[in-house]
Chains A and B, each alone.
Chain A
Amino acid sequence: EVQLVESGGGLVQPGGSLRVSCAASGFTFSSYWMRWVRQAPGKGLEWVANIREDGREKYYVDSVKGRFTISRDNAKNSLYLQMNSLRAEDTAVYYCAREVKGVTYYDSNGYHYYYAMDVWGQGTRVTVSS
């Protein structure tokens, strides 16, 4: 069964640090880009960060740049999000998700791709509060 299981959430004080993890199983983890998406209480979804299959390319939403670091260990089939200098507005459920990519069509401009997050974990709750 294809599965993602997050862990490591909890209560942390403002300015503190926390690392959340995501354990993957049932698929070849090293063949996929992976993402973190968060959801503040009662709010919508927000993409946080993503990482290439080999870990050498990473991207972040502006609000977490310089504070959060995404990483992965393909030998352990695991994805991580190190969160430093945490703020109250970082309070959310953090989901990891697998990203798939495929060819939509080909034209004179080359290949056009689709991207989608097809497998999600159950989420881990992070609360930043004093």
Chain B
Amino acid sequence: EIVMTQSPATLSVSPGERATLSCRASQSISSNLAWYQQKPGQAPRLLIYGASTRATGIPARFSGSGSGTDFTLTISSLQSEDFAVYYCQQYNNWPMYTFGQGTKLEIK
């Protein structure tokens, strides 16, 4: 099983600043990674797939990078609506998916 590890568990950032979230795979997954955003009481929302391609309607301030085992989600200038929990998810061994444990992005 591919284990996904996200860091940090909680990230405190001020509005307008940049946030950098990390995700590491226990083995190489090429670029087979997606990122999701989840707000309290809501379903997850797809942000990024293929490690770096933004999903439809996702603002340009969200960007993804990385390949192999190390990945990054960057939010360039945080807006109030961006404070949420973010999950990475690998699909390298599709049809099985595994998720990271999540990073909570909170207002500093």
Q: Which residues of A contact B (CB under 8 A)?
A: 33, 35, 37, 44-47, 50, 59, 61, 95, 104, 112-118, 120-123
- Are B44 and A47 in touch, CB under 8 angstroms? no
Tell me what chain B mostly uses at the interface: helix, strand, loop, or mixed.
loop
| B32–A114 touching, CB < 8 Å | yes
Is the Cβ of A45 less than 8 Å from the Cβ of B99?
Answer: yes
B98 beta carbon closer than 8 Å to chain A: yes
Q: Do B87 and A116 touch across chains, with their CB atoms under 8 A apart? A: no
| Contact A116 to B55, CB < 8 A, known contacts A45-B89, A95-B44 | yes
Of B43, B49, B56, the residue contacting A123 (CB under 8 A) is B43
Q: Which residue of chain B is the closest to A117 with respect to CB atoms?
A: B46
Between A and B, how many residue pairs show CB distances below 8 Å?
60
- Which chain A residues border B56 with CB–CB below 8 Å? 118
Interface mask (B81-92 → A, CB under 8 Å = 1, otherwise 0): 000000101010
B73 proximal to A (CB < 8 A): no
Chain A: minimal CB distance from B89 (Å): 7
> With A95-B43, A121-B43 in contact, is A114–B99 under 8 Å at CB?
no
Cα separation A113 to B92 with both chains bound (whole Å)? 10
